[in-house]
Amino acid sequence: MKRDNVLSLISIAKKAGRVASGEFQTEAAVKSGKAELVILSEEASENTKKKFRNMCEYYEVPCSVYAGKEALGAAIGCAQRSSLAILDPGFAASLRGKLEAAGVTKKDGGRAYGDNQGA
């Protein structure tokens, strides 16, 4: 049930225009400093996960691995998505809380939800 809460909040953020989806847009959001949280699919390739974990660590953006490609895509009304960035600090904070409640650990990459240490 908690996964539904996370995906529902992602859907609301998308409707508010505060989500960048797909590898190219997610990368651009992280590098430009607009990304507040990056979410990667559990089904993303190891190369993609490593690329985003390293990038998020460098740019100090929290990063989590959550749900499958189809579930992430469906949450934002698109085809399969292996990565997305939340652009709003309020949505990002709420999502971090819901991810923690769903059992997603802080070691999944990037900043540990506000810590200045890397993963």
pLDDT tens across 85-100, in order? 999 999 999 999 999 8
Please give the pLDDT value at position 4. Answer: 76
pLDDT of 106:
57
Rounded to whole angstroms, what are the CA distances from 84 to 57, 117?
Answer: 16, 22
Q: What fold is seen in the domain 2-107?
A: 60s Ribosomal Protein L30; Chain: A; (3.30.1330)
C-beta of residue 37 within 8 angstroms of C-beta of residue 86: yes
Distance CA 59, CA 11 (A): 25
Q: What is the pLDDT of residue 80?
A: 93
Low-confidence ranges of the chain (pLDDT < 70): 1-3, 105-119
The H-or-E segment that residue 97 falls in is helix 89-101
